[in-house]
Amino acid sequence: MAFRVAIAQINPRLGDVAANLAIYEEQIRLAAKRGADLLLFPELSLTGYFLRDMVPNVALRLSAPEIDRLKKLSRDMAFVAGLVEEGPDYRFYNAAVYFDRGEARHVHRKVYLPTYGMFDEQRYFARGDRVRAFDTRFGRLAVLICEDLWHPSTIYLAALDGAVTVLCPSTSPLRGISDGEPQDDNARYWEMINRAYAETFSLFMVYGNRVGFEDGVGFWGGSEIVDPFGRRIAKAKYYEEDFIAGNIALDAVRRKRAAAPLLRDEDIDLTVNELLRIRERPSNVKPARLVKGLRVIRGSKGLGGRGKNPKKRR
């Protein structure tokens, strides 16, 4: 199986869903002209990133008119959109939605929400609670959003779940410019893990980052497509809007996994058993203490301990 994947490295407008939807339409038309079958948009590219208190204003339910418009656009072009999804319980998620043939066929909610440095996502978004690969006409795919991929467990789960291509919509900012280097330190780290994951798990990595500035923060672009042998198929420009496309032939996955059958040899039971052991390992907690007449049970369930009955700890 072979198909052509493209990445729209765009500069979305903060808080303006209508304007960004127009950009989506333009990029989808361009992708069709370039012969693409599947198009990746960056993280939160339908809304902009530093939304803060605007999150509820730009959030979309899957029944929203804007989602219907995206479904219609997907009749001739499959694509992954980055948006704020509103759940039925009024929680808001940093989400990536896979649209194809007039339907929203898969939703990934970002599971790792950064709260360090300039990031404050957990203040405004609810966390996703699953990592799933899913079947498509392009083979089995997985979507992981930006920070998700900085945690090796997510790519590991996606690969074990059968993904042969991982799509990563990202909003990665500039961090640390070194003299004589064409890209910043953040870009170099991303390029390293994209290649390492592609080679280690014998799959295609499709990484789509944005550009532009928001709230004084710049984004470095540099989107790329990497094959299972760690070879770069296509690379976007740094720091400016761009559109790239490359051919993906899944036979490359077969050849790499035949030569290096690491996934075949994975001992899932070993991994699960050791994770359970680590989770149940007692932590170094202080004895229970009295605070203003209220007994505080340290090490009880929900406080990092093993969930023992507090009455047995008197």
Helix axes 185-201, 152-160, angle to 10 degrees: 30
CA 36 – CA 29 distance, rounded (Å): 10
Any idea which residue has 């009024």 for tokens? 90
Residue 174 confidence (pLDDT): 87
CA 247 – CA 225 distance, rounded (Å): 9
Q: For residue 43, what are the contacts with CB-CB under 8 A and spacing of at least 6?
A: 49, 82, 94, 96, 110, 145, 146, 169, 170, 171, 210
What three-state secondary structure class fits 137? Answer: strand
Q: What DSSP assignment string belongs to 281-294?
A: SPP--PPPEEETTE
The residues carrying an active-site annotation are 43, 110, 146
CA 60 – CA 249 distance, rounded (Å): 35
Domains of the chain plus CATH, in order, are 2-261 (3.60.110.10), 282-313 (no CATH)
State both tokens at 74.
């997907």
CA 201 – CA 159 distance, rounded (Å): 6
**Ranges under pLDDT 70 in the chain:** 177-182, 284-314
In this predicted model, what pLDDT tens digit does every residue of 122-136 receive, in sequence order? Answer: 999 999 999 999 999
Q: What does pTM read for this prediction?
A: 0.88
State both tokens at 152.
């090796």
| Bridge partner list, 2 | 249
Residues constituting the chain = 314
State both tokens at 43.
């993280």
Tell me how far apart the 2 most distant CA atoms of the chain are, in Å. Answer: 72
